[in-house]
């Protein structure tokens, strides 16, 4: 007991001393604005996480475009694909800083709306990136988006379906690996796929593998055992496509089971080159990041931007994978950028 009673005051003194130091330094007048004049454009981009190479590519594109245009671009993210509160906290932290434009990829349809309310109230332009934010709930909260920039995931699913149909000869049993339950992009991809193959391919199973490579491998192991007739697999993203490819390879079925996934991450391009993955519908998150920064600059300079900017997508298979790898992370065919060139720079 003696030790504790004698110890306590010392610690209290220590804490008070530290606090006093803190206040002392505070009094010495920090809080000057960050270096640079008031004309400095600062762009904040917030996405789900950086463990998914897709979002990492979006970040890299945004940062590279920021360097090119000579503006500050800060990209932040939560901890995982489902970290709705973590992403939320990042946005509200950034909302208190002097950013001139926000670009946000939500975790779900609503999680970013509340922290964006103060941003909207300050009349700072907001871009909705990649995944649609609930328009009705946003309107009620008084938040509006200058533009939606993203890939057409319905079309990605349709292109994947067409690719599978061609390779499977227009008939056969196919399985679908779904993303996280309720995630909108995954739902759209599956919808596009299912519509296109309806009446031609027989969908024998649709199982969630949560955009997770290991889980996709386990699920595919089970699917191949339960449905040995499967000759095609559609994975709603590349990480699951890679898991499925591993499983198919372990079962000695490479070449017999066609696998098409969506996203076009580096590992998937390598797998296409190696022949374990049949193809990927490449989206261009890097281009999406660039477009976001360009759109922000247009908005900051009071130019209008289209309400909806569709980022390019393309099927990568063995015929064009070398070109795709060579030009990665840029698309290897030019696409029509709907944004006017950035003024004032």
Partner 1 sequence: MVDVQAPGRGLGGRLSVAAAARYAAPIGLVVVFLAFFIATPNFLTLGNISDLLVSAAILLVLAMGQQLVVTVAGIDLSVGSNLPWSAAVLGFAYTQGWGLAVSVLLALLAGLLVGVVNGLLVARLNMTDFIVTLGSLSVVSGITLLLTQGNTVAVNSAFLRGLALNGIGPVRWFWVVAFVVAALVGFLLFRTRTGTYLLSTGGNIDAAREAGINVSRIRLIAYASSGLACGVASVLLVARTGGADPSLQTDLLLSSIAAVVLGGSSLFGGKASVFGSVAGAVLLQSLINGFTLLGISQYYQPIAVGAVVLGAAFISRFQK
Given the rule CB under 8 A, which residues bind partner 1?
Answer: 3-4, 6-8, 10-11, 14-15, 18-19, 21-22, 25-26, 30-34, 49-50, 74, 76-77, 79-80, 82-86, 88-90, 92-97, 107-111, 113-115, 117-118, 134, 136-137, 140-141, 180-182, 208
223 contacts 230 by C-beta, under 8 angstroms: yes
Which residue, 109 or 168, has its beta carbon nearer to partner 1?
A: 109
State which residue, 8 or 256, has the beta carbon closest to partner 1. 8
CB closer to partner 1, 52 vs 247: 52
Least distance from C-beta 262 to partner 1, angstroms?
19
Q: Work out the end-to-end distance of the chain between its first and last CA atoms, rounded to an integer number of angstroms.
A: 69
Q: Which is nearer to partner 1, 81 or 288 (CB)?
A: 81
Q: Enumerate long-range contacts of 330-334, CB under 8 Å, 24 or more apart.
A: 330/284, 330/286, 330/287, 331/282, 331/284, 331/287
Q: What is the DSSP string of 64-107?
A: HHHHHHT-EEEEEE-SSTT-HHHHHHHHHHHHTS--SEEEE--S
- State the nearest-atom distance from the C-beta of 137 to partner 1, in Å: 5
Q: Nearest distance from residue 75's CB to partner 1, in Å?
A: 8
Q: What percent helix, strand, coil does the chain show, rounded to 5?
A: 45, 20, 35
The closest of 344, 238, 221, 253 to 283, measured between CA atoms, is 238
Residue 107 or 154 having the CB closest to partner 1? 107
Closest separation in Å from C-beta 276 to partner 1: 28
Q: Looking at residue 178, what DSSP letter applies?
A: E
Rg, the chain, Cα only = 24
Instruction: Tally Cβ neighbours within 10 Å of residue 128.
Output: 26
Between 88 and 185, name the residue whose CB sits nearer to partner 1: 88
CB of 109 to partner 1, least distance (A): 6
CB of 185 or CB of 282, closer to partner 1: 185
Q: How far is the CB of 112 from partner 1 (least distance, A)?
A: 8
Dig out the tokens for 78 from the structure. 């939560």
**Shortest reach from residue 315's CB to partner 1, in Å:** 29
d(Cα 309, Cα 148) in Å, to the nearest integer? 6
């Amino acid at each position: 007991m003696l030790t504790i009673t004698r110890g306590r005051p010392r610690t209290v003194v220590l804490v008070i001393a530290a606090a006093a130091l803190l206040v002392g330094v505070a009094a010495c007048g920090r809080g000057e604005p960050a270096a640079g004049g008031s004309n400095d454009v600062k762009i904040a981009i917030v996405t789900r996480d950086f463990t998914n190479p897709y979002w990492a590519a979006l970040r890299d594109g945004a940062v590279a475009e920021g360097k090119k245009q000579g503006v500050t671009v800060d990209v932040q993210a939560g901890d995982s694909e489902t970290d709705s509160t973590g992403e939320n906290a990042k946005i509200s932290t950034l909302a208190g800083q002097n950013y001139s434009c926000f670009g946000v990829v939500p975790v779900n349809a609503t999680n970013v709306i509340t922290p964006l309310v103060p941003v909207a109230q300050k009349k700072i332009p907001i871009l909705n990136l990649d995944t649609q934010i609930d328009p009705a709930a946003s309107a009620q909260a008084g938040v509006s988006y200058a533009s939606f920039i993203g890939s057409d995931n319905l079309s990605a699913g349709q292109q994947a379906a067409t690719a599978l149909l061609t390779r499977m000869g227009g008939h056969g049993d196919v399985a679908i690996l779904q993303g996280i339950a309720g995630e909108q992009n995954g739902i759209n991809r599956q919808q596009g796929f299912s519509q296109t193959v309806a009446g031609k391919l027989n969908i024998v199973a649709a199982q969630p593998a949560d955009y997770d490579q290991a889980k996709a491998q386990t699920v595919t192991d089970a699917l191949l055992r339960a449905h040995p007739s499967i000759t095609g697999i559609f994975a709603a993203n590349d990480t699951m496509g890679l898991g499925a490819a591993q499983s198919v390879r372990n079962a000695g079925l490479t070449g017999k089971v066609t696998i098409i996934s969506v996203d076009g991450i580096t590992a998937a391009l390598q797998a296409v080159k190696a022949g374990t993955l049949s193809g990927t519908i490449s989206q261009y998150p890097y281009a999406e990041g660039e477009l976001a920064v360009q759109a922000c600059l247009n908005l900051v300079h009071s130019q209008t931007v289209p309400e909806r900017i569709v980022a390019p997508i393309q099927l990568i298979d063995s015929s064009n994978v070398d070109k795709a790898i060579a030009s990665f992370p840029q698309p290897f065919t030019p696409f029509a950028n709907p944004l006017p060139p950035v003024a004032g720079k």
